[in-house]
Each structure stands twice: as C-alpha cells, then as structure tokens.
Amino acid sequence: MDYFRQHYLNSLDEAALPLVSPLITNDISESPDSYILTLGFDPLRDDGIEYAVRLKAAGISTHHEHYADCMHGFISVTAVSARAKQATHNVAMALNKFNH
C-alpha cells in the first residue's frame, strides 16, 4: 500500500484528511449516496465493508455488493474469466440503476 500512498498523496499528512480516509472521520453524515463494491480477494475488503456499514448506520443511501469469489482488478480479466465478465456486467447494471 505504500506504493499507492506515495502516488496518491503529496505527503503522509494528507492520509488523515476525510476525503482520503473516510473511515477515520467521525462525522460522515454529509457523505453522498454511495455504491460500495467489495471483493473476497482484495486488501481493502474489510475497510470497504466497514465503510458500507458506517454509511448505512448514518442513514446514507448505500448500495453494497460483495463478490466473495472475485479478486481486486477482476474487471481486467473479463476476456479469460466468465465469472469476472458476469460480475462486471452486474456492477455496471447496479451502477446504472444507482445513478438514476
């Protein structure tokens, strides 16, 4: 994760900003309606699940989907994985409904 922090943040101090790390923010009541996708094989899985739970508890309209059998980056392997192709289709359909 250090690699991504170095490319995403100007300094490590920014890691504490609410827009960077919403899980460490006390007040998420102003968060927008959210679509959260978590995957069984993803280093951010637990954080995503926790964030979805917190958003729902705060009364934020939240659509959370979890694909226990997919890995981070599954969208990039749709040409060789029927499951990835189906999951990508499902996500696209959910986002389409969510945004309307």
Is 37 inside a domain boundary?
A: yes
Is 77 inside a domain boundary?
A: yes
Q: Quote the pLDDT of residue 43.
A: 92
Residues 23-65 pLDDT 10s: 888 889 889 899 899 999 999 999 999 999 999 999 999 999 9
Q: Quote the pLDDT of residue 82.
A: 92
Domain of residue 67: give its range: 28-98
* Residue 16: count of CB within 10 angstroms of its CB: 10
Q: Is the Cβ–Cβ distance between 36 and 55 less than 8 Å?
A: yes
Is 60 inside a domain boundary?
A: yes
Is 52 inside a domain boundary?
A: yes
Structural domain tally of the chain? 1
Q: Is the Cβ–Cβ distance between 58 and 28 less than 8 Å?
A: yes
pTM comes to 0.81
Closest CA to 35 of 56, 58, 21: 56
